Structure 1
Amino acid sequence: MQHRTQQNRTTGARRRPAVALVALGTTLALAGCATASDDSTDGAGGEGTVDVVVHDSFVISDEAKAAFEEETGLTMNVITTGDGGALANKLVLTKDSPLGDVAFGIDSSFASRAVDEGVFEPYTSPVQPALSEELAADDSGALTAIDYGDVCLNIDDSWFESNGVLEPVSLEDLTKPEYADLTVVTNPATSSPGLAFLFATVGEFGEDGYLDYWQSLSDNGLKVVEGWEDAYYVDFTTSGGDRPIVLSYASSPAFTVSEDGSSTTTSALLDTCFRQVEYAGVLSGADNPEGGQQVIDFLLGEQFQSEIPTGMYVYPVNEDAEIPGEWTDFAPVPDAPVELDPAEISENREAWIKDWTASVIG
């Protein structure tokens, strides 16, 4: 998830809102600089190290990390591996010699593959919130939901108002003549939100109809770019581009709020969203599985969960976590996002991308 350093989002990365995120690069760099220690322990609450394998957009504050270490007596060693797709691949390839004790950042696009490969061992946290249980990847107990977010089309409200064009609402609207040449999305082969949007169209129109929908979009002047940054910061009209409809996140409008906090200049089309869930799991064969369990307990706790919206720009699963006021006012959670069974995604992801590329890119 390289987006926090303003790089293009890549496949398997997670979804983030449209904001200038350069400042967070320092936080990520610090998180990634921890070095592994050899004096791991298999005793809960004892001295030693717990190795936490994460994607490179994982953010934890110094205060939260210190709190974990004080509570457990363990040193948290954070090991970054690249974006979410790279994380999943590395965990599968190293399952017989795991990279650490616990992993965070496997999302619903890759969850089934990792579970089927035996990457994780079952663990149910005694502090698991109800929503985390509801968002379970399957019934194996191998993965624990930590956060979730929704990839959605966003619109520039001011553009539609000033041009006297009725704002679109649904996916079908984008194929209508009045919205010709107005939409920019990202390539599912190179972009996480692009992949999520592809899943949304499969979920909405089925395997027999999603390519027909994409053909209609293409016929209506759809623009496809490689990464989220290009779409939002180059082509979107709020950044000086000529496309007032862009693929982004349900949380993005919380970051285009006016100075007085009374309004936002963009909005998410909540009928176009695809939900992504991010999981943590104890790695099979870990040197310190008890420490890994303690990490999961901590990730579900109120302190870390309250950091998730501002640190990783997604929603926490703990209902007691603090949510920024801008999110409550301008980034509501979609009531009925499009969803696909993780097992179906795992089985068909590459074929869908291949077929999409042949149909849309040629």
Structure 2
Amino acid sequence: MSSTRPAVTDDGTPPSTTGGITLHSTTSTTRRHPVRLAALALASATLLAACASAGPTPASTTTPGATASTSEAPASGPVTLLTHSSYELSKEQIADLKEKGLDVKVVQVGDGGTLVNQLILTKDAPLGDVVFGVDNTFASRAIDAGVFEAYTSPALPAAAVPLKVAGGDAVTPVDQGDVCINVDSVWFEKNPDVPVPATLDDLTKPDYKDLVVLTNPATSTPGLSFLAGTVSQYGADGYLEYWTRLKDNGVRIADSWSDAYYSDFTGAAEDGTRPIVLSYSSSPAYTLTDDGGTTTASLPATCTRQVEYAGVLAGAKNPAGARAVVDYLLSPELQATLPDTAYMYPVDPDVALPESFQKHGALAENPIPVDPVVVARDRDTWISDWTDTVLG
């Protein structure tokens, strides 16, 4: 089932154009992937059954800069969970947490980049107690700004890999996925003279002029993941030349994933004009046909790995409750719902995955390597230079 959004911003104005490239500046609450109604119904039933046994483990006492080790009384009371616009707890999960003594309010703050910016701007008076959805390309910014109180959850699976930057233990990995170029398979079937692209280089070819929509790395976590992938692929001396070729080939830049996918991508928007979009390897698992096939495909050679983290906010009004929510996000019951609610792989490798996810949403075997230390060091320079080159 396709989802559509009007090609205007949330305040009713048309998208703006900068340097010949169309920009969309909405902050969307649309989910990350188009999900069929049948999948949603199944997910709701699964959530209701699974969450009955899920609950926060006893939290541990921590201080800024130290990991948890000492037990404390069970957490309770109101907790505000900040997240990006593509995730929210279900009503069943919120009810389950309430039965455990936690009154959780979910506040969506926009795309992942916007979320991190808001965390930094409000760090002296945080908007909530705990956050989920900060990814491996933006996390070090928030860590360096002192946004988090360090916490190591006792529920963290042994196989989960911590963020390998200074202070990386301040955040807890919850899910993972691959940011990849996706194509509208139906569009390409109807246009057989245009071959399906396979690589990053292909996107700069004349065959794909005015057919590609990507996202702004300054405001979008998949956009930054993709930018980091181009730096890794072409080197610090060559990635801007690659982006110049994309620009010359008519690439469109949207501010958020949801704008690109639901306003521009032909595979999701009825009035979309771009059959090539930056999305996720899991996206094709949510564009299913009645016979079990899918109408979209991801391109494995273009993928970079994205990990999303949760963290307790320094200065939280209810730090014990915040730690309990982090534990809850790692519970096997909630991890099992992530393919249907976050549209990502759970960080716990022992959690069973939906058949459609395994068949159509597999992680790339060899994603483009991105070093988080290099990202932390050079991210701001990349974004500044990218802005001057692509939007300037």
* Shared fold (TM-score, shorter chain, > 0.5): yes
| 1:114 to 2:142 alignment | yes
Offset of residue 97 of structure 1: 4.0
Answer with 111-120 or 190-199: which moved more. Answer: 190-199
Partner residue of 1:326 out of 349, 356, 360: 356
Distance 1:4 1:46, change over 3 A: farther
Partner residue of 2:244 out of 199, 215, 236: 215
Cross-structure match for 1:16:
32
Offset of residue 77 of structure 1: 3.6
Cross-structure match for 2:379:
349
Structure 1: distance between partners of 2:172 and 2:322: 12
Offset of residue 301 of structure 1: 0.5
Distance 1:277 1:214, change over 3 A: same
Output aligned runs, 1:109-258, within 5 Å. Answer: 109-134=137-162, 140-162=168-190, 163-229=192-258, 231-238=260-267, 239=270, 241-258=272-289
Question: Which digits, 9 at most, give the CA deviation of each residue in 1:61-108, with x for residues without a partner?
Answer: 22222323334x333243444443343233334434444432222222
- Give, as a single letter, the amino acid of the residue that structure 2 aligns with 1:142: A
Q: CA RMSD in A?
A: 3.5
TM-score normalised by length of structure 2? 0.74
Would you say the 8 A contact 2:300–2:364 is kept in 1?
A: yes
Distance 1:196 1:288, change over 3 A: same
Offset of residue 148 of structure 1: 1.9
Would you say the 8 A contact 1:12–1:86 is kept in 2?
A: no
Would you say the 8 A contact 2:109–2:115 is kept in 1?
A: yes
Structure 2: distance between partners of 1:347 and 1:199: 12
Q: How many residues align?
A: 341
| 1:95 to 2:115 alignment | no
SS at structure 1 position matched to 2:336: helix
Would you say the 8 A contact 2:266–2:273 is kept in 1?
A: yes
Question: Which digits, 9 at most, give the CA deviation of each residue in 1:1-41, with x for residues without a partner?
Answer: xx9988768699999234589x99xx9xxxxxxxxxxxxxx
- Give, as a single letter, the amino acid of the residue that structure 1 aligns with 2:247: S
Structure 2: distance between partners of 1:230 and 1:98: 28
TM-score normalised by length of structure 1? 0.79
Offset of residue 229 of structure 1: 4.6
Cross-structure match for 2:58:
none
SS at structure 1 position matched to 2:349: coil
Would you say the 8 A contact 1:13–1:84 is kept in 2?
A: no
Higher helix proportion: 1
Would you say the 8 A contact 1:301–1:318 is kept in 2?
A: no
Cross-structure match for 1:36:
none
Cross-structure match for 1:288:
318
Cross-structure match for 2:345:
315
Would you say the 8 A contact 2:80–2:107 is kept in 1?
A: yes
Offset of residue 329 of structure 1: 0.7
Offset of residue 269 of structure 1: 0.3
Distance 1:325 1:97, change over 3 A: same
Offset of residue 345 of structure 1: 2.9
- Give, as a single letter, the amino acid of the residue that structure 2 aligns with 1:16: R
Cross-structure match for 1:39:
none
Unpaired runs of at least 5, structure 1: 28-41
SS at structure 2 position matched to 1:141: helix
Structure 1: distance between partners of 2:4 and 2:89: 14
Would you say the 8 A contact 2:32–2:257 is kept in 1?
A: no
Distance 1:135 1:337, change over 3 A: farther
Distance 1:277 1:237, change over 3 A: same
